Structure 1
Amino acid sequence: MGAQPAGAGNWHAAWSAALDSLEMDVAAAEELLAGDHRSRELPPTAAWSPPENLGPLPLDLRPRADAILARQLAAAQALAMAMVGNRRQVAMLARVESGDDGGQRPVYVNCAA
């Protein structure tokens, strides 16, 4: 890997802490999907942004960062699928409650007068 710059221990620790934060966020999303928590019970999360002056990712942390990214992408896909399923359920319930199946309703006209 070559010579490490001065403060390399702090650089590595900063990246490790940043990955810890990302990992906790994706774990929270995965727990939501698993139904372990209700959204009203969870505090709102702030958007993640990397700490300033972090520098490049240390090579030995790359596999961990890649694994977190893969989990984030899988959680995002699962959330999108859950939202689509919820929208379908809401639409179906609206049809059941209103009696509207999406088709045309028959119209009867009393012509015996």
Structure 2
Amino acid sequence: MTTPQGEAGGEWDEAWVAALDAMELEADEVEQMLRHRDVLEAAPVTAVTFSPPEGLGPLPIALADRARRLVQRQLDLSRELTIAIAGNRQQARLVNRLHREAAETVPVYVDNRT
């Protein structure tokens, strides 16, 4: 396999390794947020965004297995996030219903001492 125009093979591999490292760090942060989501509700959350470097060229064959594992990890995290979001929506609907029911009820006091 040839390297992109004029770049040395080592620099090309290093650029891909750095890009995969950044993607793995993002996945680590998402995993931490999922593990500690109950604690993080009160803490400010910074957005995690990965921007791929421009001009990387094709993935080196030596990094293909690592990239496949990373893609699978990201897919697994995506499923976990979807489940967590659905759970949060369900809880929000329940809380809204409870608040609505509480607002619609009129307190009644019955004195049955006769």
Unaligned stretches of 5+ in structure 1? Answer: 101-113
Aligned twin of 2:95: 93
Range with bigger deviation, 48-57 or 72-81:
48-57
Pick one of 67, 83, 86 that aligns with 1:84.
86
TM-score (norm 2): 0.74
Pick one of 31, 44, 48 that aligns with 1:45.
48
Aligned twin of 1:29: 30
Amino acid at match of 2:53: P
Is 1:11 equivalent to 2:12 in the alignment? Answer: yes
Q: In the TM superposition, what are the counterparts of 1:93-112 in structure 2 within 5 Å?
A: 93-99=95-101
* Structure-1 separation of matches of 2:69 and 2:16: 15
Residue 20 of structure 1, CA deviation: 0.2
Aligned twin of 2:107: none
How many residues are treated as equivalent by the alignment?
A: 97
